[in-house]
Structure 1
Amino acid sequence: MGLRAFVLAVALLLGAAPAQAEPQGLPSPGLTRLLQAELARFPSKSGIYVKDLATGEEAAVRGDEHFESASTIKIAVMVLAFRLADAGKLDLNARYTLRPEDYRGGSGVLRYGDFGATPTVRDLITQMIITSDNTATDIMIRKVGGPAAVNDFLRGSGYVALKLNKTLLDHFRWRYEVLDPKYRALSPQDVYALQSNAPYFTAPRAALIAEVRRESAARDLDTLVARQNDVEDTWLGVVTPVELGRMLEGIERETVASPAACEEMKRMLRAQQSGARKIPHFLTVPVAHKTGENTGVTHDMGMIYARSGTIVMVSLNTGATGLIADADDRIGELARLVVDYFDGAR
């Protein structure tokens, strides 16, 4: 007996009706119980959404709860960019010249290059996805019209919870505003200097860097920031497992943009360079995915191209304790369990 059949049999014994394998889909009580049992062992607040696109069978735990997005919200920026390209309002082949004020800390590779590089808009979207590049992300947020335009697109598309609160610049600068409101006036170059060791940025700002370090140590900046972890306005964005899953399904089914645009998005997601220890870790089938990380936060979401068909999976985990690498492994183990559940019965 395969894992899927076993779980359904247990569900029947417990008095739950099995989900019907219909394209429209019905919640799967057996899979839900299995996922609940697994997440109960996670040292974090965790939510998950899983859907077999071939049958519509789906399950969720904390599916509609709000989670800090970290970089998973970048997928909404990508979809909007391709929709604008479809409408002739954004040229993916146009080149953009990188300037000092574009550089952002955190993830990505563009900040390690020299000024004056001229990636295409398509290159920027690619880096935003496959290396979660924050420099590329803020450029693309501007290109699509800013956070308000992203949120108008999301509301117009029927997403209730998904939201981009701010740019990466504002998100990083907020950390210093927690110390003192005067830091709201920090320039993009100031913020980047506080997050890098690049002499071009740090040398002229040595006094500022020393001042912020003194204040951070004296007031325990990490603790000040942690006290606001549950305040949604302080997050980069807001997501839920179910709504992220819906967006992924739209990309896979080629309904969120033109078929050609969706194919490009899927190629980018399949070229992911981060999160090898997450969804793909223990799998031997292709995965197209996007990660998100922050302090105590580790997410992954994507399409798993299992032998039985495509599975959408979204795993969100916040307030994680212990090693993040261990939390990433748990995401990988969940993905293996999900694939075994669907593939093992066929």
Structure 2
Amino acid sequence: MKQLDAYISRLIEETCGTWGIVIEDLDEDKRWEWNTQESFLAESIIKVPVMAAAFAAVEKKQFHLHDYVCLKKEDMVGGTGVLQHLTPGVQLTIYDLITLMIIQSDNTATNIVIDLVGMECIQETLEELGMEKSQFHRKMMIYPVHIESKNVITADDASTLLKKLATGTFRSRHACEQMIQILKKQQICNGLSSMLPSHQANLIGSPPGWEFASKSGWDDDRQHDIGILYTGQRTFTISALSKGGNSLQAKQALGKIGLVVFEYAISKK
């Protein structure tokens, strides 16, 4: 990965803020890393292990993905997502709630899923995934005065999570495939995939030149994006977390990281 090293190292050194990055070539078992153990507020990246906890609960027969849940007024919170704008009483399947939690980063959907799964189960799932430095303590957009701890993650833990999903080694291959299919439907694509070539160049009916199963997270001075990049027969995981910098500059840096990894991947076909 020497081609990546010089470019990304220089890019991060020229970009404001603190970064944690892991890039893994799953086919050749190679890895590039930067500041992997730095702790970051997880923001919406935490929704990926929440999804994993939900699929673990399904395997334990705690509920079924096709079970319906009624949207209640007291469930609605602000921030991202469409559910806060819908009429209370609407019923959605648990699978639909998980999908909205990931592809729109819907906070209301996330909190409903958290209540279904249980906060203790989510922390246990982090441990099962091997996310040793990550912690889950609270729901989205709710700040209980008795809970001072926050949801945190490291780039190394995020990479471990992605590798488990990509290799089908969390719970079952079928569960991992289902989660990856949801991540591939991501609608918030202003980070790692923002500079990748358009899919529209492909002929009708032909497979896309690349796919990216991803989840981002952000706040005032934090911009995170993690995902699994599929191009041809190649599979890479990218985990990029940032804090203390300019949001626009960080998004641009994420896009450049995604592009250089893509170009490296296609050069290795």
Quick check: TM above 0.5? yes
14, 37, 41: which one aligns with 2:14: 41
Tell me if 1:325 matches 2:242: no
Q: Which residue of 2 aligns with 1:334?
A: 257
Separation in 2, partners of 1:67, 1:311: 22
123, 131, 145: which one aligns with 2:96: 123
Separation in 2, partners of 1:333, 1:169: 30
Tell me if 1:248 matches 2:162: yes
Question: What SS is found at the alignment partner of 1:168?
Answer: coil
Letter in 2 for 1:166: R
Separation in 2, partners of 1:282, 1:40: 20
Q: Which residue of 2 aligns with 1:195?
A: none
Q: Which residue of 2 aligns with 1:265?
A: 179
Q: Which residue of 2 aligns with 1:165?
A: 137
Separation in 1, partners of 2:10, 2:220: 25
Letter in 2 for 1:328: K
Superposed counterparts of 1:111-190, under 5 Å: 111-146=84-119, 148-171=120-143
Higher helix proportion: 1
Separation in 2, partners of 1:64, 1:317: 13
- Kindly indicate whether the alpha-carbon contact (under 8 Å) linking 1:107 and 1:131 is maintained by their aligned counterparts in 2: yes
Q: After superposition, what is the alpha-carbon deviation per residue over 1:206-250, rounded to whole angstroms, capped at 9, x for unaligned?
A: xxxxxxxxxxxxxxxxxxxxxxxxxx9553x11111111111111
Q: Which residue of 2 aligns with 1:304?
A: 229
- Displacement, 1:256? 0.8
Superposed counterparts of 1:219-230, under 5 Å: none
Letter in 1 for 2:222: V
TM-score (norm 1): 0.70
Separation in 2, partners of 1:165, 1:32: 35
Q: Which residue of 2 aligns with 1:22?
A: none
Separation in 2, partners of 1:271, 1:289: 8
Q: Which residue of 1 aligns with 2:192?
A: 279
> How many residue pairs align between the two structures?
257
Q: Which residue of 2 aligns with 1:208?
A: none
Letter in 2 for 1:278: G
- Kindly indicate whether the alpha-carbon contact (under 8 Å) linking 2:129 and 2:160 is maintained by their aligned counterparts in 1: no
What RMSD over aligned residues (CA atoms) do the two structures have, in Å? 1.9
Segments of 5+ residues of structure 2 without an aligned counterpart are 198-209
- Kindly indicate whether the alpha-carbon contact (under 8 Å) linking 2:131 and 2:158 is maintained by their aligned counterparts in 1: no
- Displacement, 1:264? 1.3
Tell me if 1:68 matches 2:41: yes
Segments of 5+ residues of structure 1 without an aligned counterpart are 9-30, 175-183, 185-231
Question: What SS is found at the alignment partner of 2:130?
Answer: coil
Tell me if 1:291 matches 2:235: no
Higher strand proportion: 2
Question: What SS is found at the alignment partner of 2:70?
Answer: coil
- Displacement, 1:333? 0.7
Q: Percent identity?
A: 28
Larger Rg: 1
Q: Which residue of 1 aligns with 2:23?
A: 50
Separation in 2, partners of 1:40, 1:141: 38
- Displacement, 1:33? 4.5
- Displacement, 1:128? 0.5
